[in-house]
Amino acid sequence: MTNHFDTIADIYNKVWYFSGQYQKSMLENIIELLQLGKDDVLADIGGGTGATTRLLLETSNLRKAYCIEPSRKMFLEAQKIPVIESVCADAGEFMQLEIDFSKVLLKEVVHHIPSRQVLWRYLRHKLPAQGRILIVTRPQAIALPLFEKAKQAFRQKQPKHEVLMQELETSGFATSYRVHPYRFTLDKAVWFDMIRNRFMSDLAGFTNGEIEEGLIEIDAKYPGGTIEIQDNIIYIPASVKGMDRME
Ligand SMILES: C[S@@+](CC[C@H](N)C(=O)[O-])C[C@H]1O[C@@H](n2cnc3c(N)ncnc32)[C@H](O)[C@@H]1O
């Protein structure tokens, strides 16, 4: 089966950009909630092209940052960034690697991971007492101006934040929750190009004809040359409960 992320690897950074301010706000939230500092080693699971991994490494002056990415083509993009260490592995294979880390980022990837509870237990065992995980995701009812069928596809794959928090709590983490609504305006042509490029994996199952029908639906709902976008980003930080490592 074709890996969707292989097909968009070369344009990923371009189609998933939005704006410098959007990226800055995201970065600030991650640094704050992961409490990133110079002694930390970061594992960015599903780190894609490594762009965020690199920004986190450089902004927080981290000791080291790993970009763990299963799509070969995304991994090859990440490998072009020499300051980060990129590994071609999915979350399951990540657990077989002999590497140490203190902070773990799962940004826009948690819905792709099939055995989450195994990963949470592994991380509880592996992380030091000051260790932290951060999930960055979106609510099932996505606010982005997609067409209805795409919203439904998204809803079906997306776990509820309550479920993620419960899983982490059960595995020995203390969790909290923050929603950051981010509003901005894009040229409609740019937004439509993002959708045509299937910037989200939930769009991968639609034919070109279905995408064009979807764009007509969005166009009717949002007249004019620009489009107001609201992205509700959910942050779930998790810290190790108690000071003892689970054996
Ligand atoms: C929407 S992208 C997010 C990339 C990056 N974290 C970012 O925010 O730009 C989702 C990434 O998760 C990766 N992925 C898919 N399944 C995965 C799995 N089972 N374990 C780890 N990563 C996975 C994909 O290859 C893709 O690069």
The pLDDT tens digits along the chain (247 residues) read 578 888 777 777 776 777 888 889 999 999 999 999 999 999 999 999 999 999 999 999 999 999 999 999 999 999 999 999 999 999 999 999 999 999 999 999 999 999 999 999 999 999 999 999 999 999 999 999 999 999 999 999 999 999 999 999 999 999 999 999 999 898 999 999 999 999 999 999 999 999 999 999 999 999 999 999 999 999 999 999 975 444 3
- Cβ(113) – ligand 1 distance below 6 Å: yes
Q: Decide: 112 in ligand 1 pocket, CB within 6 A.
A: yes
Q: What is the pLDDT of residue 19?
A: 80
pLDDT value, residue 244: 43
> Are the beta carbons of 105 and 192 closer than 8 angstroms?
no
| 91 in contact with ligand 1, CB cutoff 6 A | yes
Question: What is the pLDDT at residue 24?
Answer: 92
105 Cβ neighbours under 8 A, 6+ residues apart: 30, 34, 42, 43, 44, 45, 47, 52, 53, 56, 133, 134, 136
Q: Which residues contact 64 (CB under 8 A, 6 or more apart)?
A: 41, 42, 57, 85, 101
Q: Is 46 in the pocket of ligand 1 (CB under 6 A)?
A: yes
The per-residue pLDDT for 18 is 77
CA 141, 2, 235, 237 torsion-angle sign: positive
Residue nearest atom 25 of ligand 1, based on CA coordinates: 71
Q: How far apart are CA 107 and CA 136, in angstroms?
A: 5
Using the mean position of ligand 1's atoms as its centre, give its distance from the Cα of residue 193 in Å. 21
- Domains detected in the chain: 4-183+228-240 (3.40.50.150)
| Number of Cβ within a 10 Å radius of residue 163 | 10
Q: Please indicate whether residue 5, judged by its CB atom, sits closer than 6 Å to ligand 1.
A: yes
The dihedral of CA 164, 121, 129, 90: what is its sign? negative
Alpha helices (H) along 101-181: 116-126, 148-157, 161-170
Residue nearest to atom 13 of ligand 1 (CA): 46
Q: For ligand 1, is residue 145 a contact (CB within 6 Å)?
A: no
Q: Which amino acid is at 230?
A: Q
Ligand 1: residue of 109, 142, 158 to mutate (most ligand atoms within 8 A of CB) is 109
In angstroms, the CA 46 to CA 68 distance is 6
Ligand 1 and 70: CB distance under 6 A: yes
Q: Is 47 in the pocket of ligand 1 (CB under 6 A)?
A: yes
User: Which DSSP state fits 79?
Assistant: T
The rounded Å distance from CA 106 to ligand 1 centre is 8
Residue 15 is predicted with a pLDDT of 66
pLDDT (0 to 100) of residue 210: 98
